[in-house]
Amino acid sequence: MRIEAIANARLASGVRNRVVVAVSGGPDSTALLIALHESGHDLVAAHYDHALREGSDAVARQVAALCERLGVRLIAERRSEPLAKGSLQAAARALRYAFLDRARAESGADVVALAHTADDLVEGVVLHLLRGCGLAGFRGMPAQRGHYVRPFLNVWKSDVREFLKVRRVVPHEDPANLDTRFARVHARLQILQALERDRPGIKTRFHAAALAAAGWQEAAEQAASGPLSRKRLRSMQEPAAVEALKLLYTGAGGATPGLSRTHLEAMLRMVAPGRGGRGVDLPGGLRFRIVGDHMEVVASQRPAVRLPHLEVRGCPGCDDGQAAHLRAGLQLRVGFRRPGLRLRPAGGRGSRKLQDIFVDARVPREERDGWPLVFAGEKLAWVPGLAVDADLAPIPGQKVLHVAIAPMPARLGHKVVRLETPKALEEI
């Protein structure tokens, strides 16, 4: 199949409007731009000049000339801000993808097409294997992630060069592609070439295995979609369970990819039977925790707690499950937990520590310090949503206080908790 037909087939599903093509000026992206143009797509080219090498401005002019000849609009930008510290390639990639997102927004495009080829897919698999990876790593780069698509993952670089040769197009050759100090170049020119000499055809076998892994990964992702509970996650095969946790993380605003194998293993260990309220800190200021059978990813640092408003009035008798009924004449105030607090829950036996009440109710550790409490003087009178002190409950025949706070902690185990009306009140 001709490479323009392959590219067009990859983009045919779900793309109805404009496509941004990321064009570096190299062979692969140049061929992708021309192939999609010949296929009749509505295109916008996007070129980002990292300004890292002498002559990069000449490459930008070459890309502009090609776009002008094809009649394709070009959005171009040259780096003007310092690179972030750390890996040069990672910093450059972050700036490039931020630019591509801006180009997509500016042009109103459906997707951004990247020119990664079958060779790039195999190289990525080798790099992942060297670092140690699971199913998702063995598939290499996915054909689509969000609004980024890779139409050339079934096209080899040799096919790209033949495509350009027939059209007499001479692309820019980046000298960095020969620098074996870069891990990807080392894998391409040394590891894979050595493997190919010893086992001819191994690149195509790697490619076929990666495509198969991509299919298994897609099945795992589908199995992981839908409502998620600890019980359901334990019933999944591990690849699907891992994808479910990744979806939970990204759904809370986590970056993709953002979780290491260490993070995922810690999260899986937490899914085993045990008490809720525990957690695992994740990148991006997020935290994974389990409350009862429910799993969630929340912000690690909770916002500053604002003291709730206390509402107190007389009550002739009602069944308001979001309020407490206490005896009249108490001087009430709102506060938060401190060491040594106890109360004797109405309907229970004996005195209990506040800590034990929280644990039994599966209130996450992160929420306990911000859980509002109602005191009568220094005595703990009411833990909203959880317990009323029996010593301060209404006495039959005497006046009753209807006590409520706003906002009310309406979540306990992710369902609204209704307080039982004290029997003493029912008798009034």
**pLDDT string in tens for the chain (428-residue length):** 467 666 665 665 545 579 999 999 999 999 999 999 998 899 999 999 999 888 899 999 999 999 999 999 999 999 988 888 888 888 899 999 999 999 999 999 999 999 999 999 999 999 888 887 777 778 888 888 889 999 999 999 999 999 999 999 999 988 888 888 888 889 898 999 999 999 999 999 999 999 888 887 777 777 667 777 888 888 888 877 888 888 888 888 887 767 888 888 888 888 877 655 568 888 888 888 887 778 888 887 655 556 677 888 888 777 777 788 888 888 888 888 888 888 988 877 788 899 888 888 878 776 787 788 889 888 898 898 888 898 888 877 778 878 887 766 545 433 333 333 333 333 32
Same domain for 92 and 236, yes or no, is no
Residue 325 counted as domain residue: yes
Residue type, 263: H
Cα 233 from Cα 267, distance rounded (Å): 11
Residue 292 counted as domain residue: yes
User: Angle at CA 106, nearest 5°, toward 100 and 108?
Assistant: 100
Which domain CATH number covers 144? 3.40.50.620
Same domain for 167 and 239, yes or no, is no
What pLDDT is stored for residue 296 in this prediction? 83
The total number of structural domains in the chain stands at 3
Least Cα distance to 288 among 264, 255, 316 occurs for 264
Same domain for 246 and 380, yes or no, is no
Residue 103 counted as domain residue: yes
Residue 220 counted as domain residue: no
Residue 221 counted as domain residue: no
Same domain for 37 and 185, yes or no, is yes
What pLDDT is stored for residue 418 in this prediction? 35
Same domain for 11 and 126, yes or no, is yes
Same domain for 290 and 317, yes or no, is no
Final residue before a domain boundary, out of 299, 332, 363: 299
Final residue before a domain boundary, out of 180, 210, 240: 210
Residue 264 counted as domain residue: yes
Final residue before a domain boundary, out of 182, 210, 238: 210
Same domain for 249 and 382, yes or no, is no
Which domain CATH number covers 273? 3.30.465.60
Residue 304 counted as domain residue: no
Residue 152 counted as domain residue: yes
Is residue 17 a contact partner of residue 42, using CB atoms and an 8 Å limit? yes
Range of the domain at 179: 3-210
Is residue 379 a contact partner of residue 389, using CB atoms and an 8 Å limit? yes
Same domain for 321 and 271, yes or no, is no
Least Cα distance to 56 among 157, 175, 149 occurs for 175
Same domain for 47 and 171, yes or no, is yes
3-state secondary structure of 317: coil
Residue 82's CB is within 10 A of a number of other CB atoms, namely 7
Same domain for 271 and 403, yes or no, is no
